[in-house]
Chain A
Amino acid sequence: MLNYLIKRLLEMIPTLFGITLVSFFIIHLAPGKPTDILTELNPKITPEARKKLEEYYGLDKPIIVQYGMWLKRVVRLDFGESFSTDHRPVMEKIWDRSQPIFERRLFITFFINALSMLLIFLIAIPVGISSAVRQYSLFDKVTTVVVFIGFAIPSFWLALLLMMLFGIHLHWLPISGLKSMNYESLSLIGKIWDRTAHLLLPVFVSAFGGIAGLSRYMRSNMLEVIRQDYIVTARAKGLPESKVIYKHALRNALLPIITLLGLSVPGLIGGSVIFENIFGIPGMGQLFFMGVMTRDYPLVMGILTIGALLTLLGNLLADIGYMLADPRIRAK
């Protein structure tokens, strides 16, 4: 088992290398240069000054050399300096050590994604089981409709609708940011509620599509398992139905779900750009969007790399989970 883990970890290295290589080339080969924006803002800039800037950023060198330079820094976890006017290191922008941990961008994005992942599993698995066990019941039909809508609904539209209903119409929940203006003056319980209230809509919106997908998947797994011979055997020997379902069927139906954990990470991270933009959440997605608009190569590359790393870690966790849950794999 340890050998397998080490092998998997080693396999991640060439994949991560490939991801950064592909991203780096795509981003740097896209037409236009970051210095174009400076030129647009300041039409008086001379070609010499522009050239100097390009030299300063290393943009005059061949792209493969630029990649080499970038890679050499990244192995030391240094993503370089941002191209924006503040020139802060990218790492500091993503993980600002001068801030408390729950104010750091990477933490905010990670935390919201982790919460929505938890919500997805907590809701989707029981829903999937119940609709499989009572196939074609009213509950099953209703969830099927909800699932199809969940697949098709644009998350940003769902966000707008919920903001209108709970924020503007009912005034129950705040619609923007992570805390209120008067946060500092609140009591401890007030502070906890304030933060929770700000998180409710973003977490629900980012989880909704996943809940639909996973509950559908859980339902079809469960239906498949229930038809197996060993379930018939379990019933035939007189076990109560709850035991048949929750002890014999569930464990096998859950196995494929674990892989989904890894596969859903890129989608969740990608979605964070959208909901952080709508809800005004100062996370990594928002930072990425700003970086993209200002052609901040180091920042964009840094966040893409971290996103890919999180994806690979998600896959690894899924593998480990699978191994722990399935004795057949553990034995190998």
Chain B
Amino acid sequence: MSIFWRRFRRNRLAVAGAVVVAFLFIIAIAAPLISPYDPNEIDRAHILEPPGPEHPLGTDDLGRDVLSRMIYGSRISLSVGFVAVGIATIVGIFFGALSGYYGGWVDRIIMRFVDIMLSIPTFFLILAVIAFVGPSIWNIMVVIGLTSWMGVARLVRAEFLSLKEREFVLAERALGAGNMRIIFSHILPNSMAPVFVSAVLGVAAAILVESALSFLGIGVQPPTPSWGNILTLGKDNIEIAWWLSVFPGLAILITVLAYNLVGEGLRDALDPRLWGSER
């Protein structure tokens, strides 16, 4: 663990990413305290105002403060990212563990199912299901989660395949431990490192999908602010209000970039093949 921390800390980009992620968490939690205006307060006297001293990031077509809406929007991005990835990780671990541990026909069926899910243009499927069940934040989390577990399943399966023949597992089995005990208290904890990395990268991917859905109008519904649906207003007012397009997109870019940097940093720090390759 200490080697891991030392390695992670030495990666300046990854640390910068982690700082940004922490900062975003604080913003999301403290949203009511730090946003200058009520995000839903309509002010017809000040519609589509460019950034200025009153409204640092301008106002939208109803006179709402863009900065306040973006601060509240960060809550959506973070919660969608984490819940969706949580679901994907649990489903992926479940199928991956079954597949890798039991092998045989169980493995064949599950892996064929994974292949099938990977061949469906996932964004089409997400779009269809959300449009049908109705766009709500919970539906978005669940649908993104249920369409992005395949990578985790493959990772966990590969870990299980290599770990289940190791001496410590064989020893445990010889001592009479049951399958469940071997899976949950011995193999699973040892296979978590790559899953953790892929979960961090998955948060970034889920945030991108949510923003795209909200942008298309079938994600988080106004008046609830999300970075994606502020961008929809940006598109509608593209010729007159650049600030509605520029700032929310920048927020998405920075957030996703930060998660990606942390994920890559974790991967490098956890990869023993790279240990000692740099001093």
Contact = CB atoms under 8 A, between A and B. Distances in A.
Which of B129, B131, B134 has the largest count of A CB atoms less than 10 A from its CB? B131
Contacts of B120: 19, 22-23, 266, 304, 307-308, 311
Interface in B148-169: none
Contacts of B122: 266, 270
A183 interface: no
Contacts of B116: 15, 18-19, 22
Interface of B is mostly: helix
Contacts of B231: 154, 156-157, 160
B278 interface: no
Interface in A26-61: 26-27, 30-32
B57 interface: no
Nearest to B132: A30
Given A22-B116, A152-B253, A32 B238 contact: no
B242 A154 contact: no
Which of B115, B117, B124, B131 has the largest count of A CB atoms less than 10 A from its CB? B124
Interface string A150-164: 011111110011011
In this complex, the interface size class of chain B, counting residues with CB under 8 Å from chain A, is 35 or more
Interface residues of A, number: 47
Contacts, number: 138
B8 to A, nearest CB: 17
Contacts of B234: 160
B137 interface: no
A292 B112 contact: no
B132 A289 contact: no
Given A149-B253, A160-B238, A295 B132 contact: yes
Given A160-B235, A168-B238, A295-B132, A289 B216 contact: yes
30 contacts: A18-B112, A30-B133, A31-B132, A32-B132, A148-B257, A149-B257, A152-B252, A152-B254, A152-B260, A154-B212, A154-B215, A155-B212, A157-B245, A157-B249, A157-B253, A160-B234, A163-B238, A269-B121, A270-B122, A270-B124, A273-B216, A277-B216, A292-B132, A292-B218, A293-B218, A304-B121, A307-B124, A308-B119, A308-B120, A315-B119
Interface of B: 112-113, 115-125, 127-129, 131-134, 204, 208, 211-212, 215-216, 218, 231, 234-235, 238-239, 242, 245-246, 248-249, 252-254, 256-257, 260-261
Given A148-B261, A274-B215, 7 more contacts: A18-B113, A30-B129, A271-B123, A274-B212, A292-B132, A307-B120, A311-B121
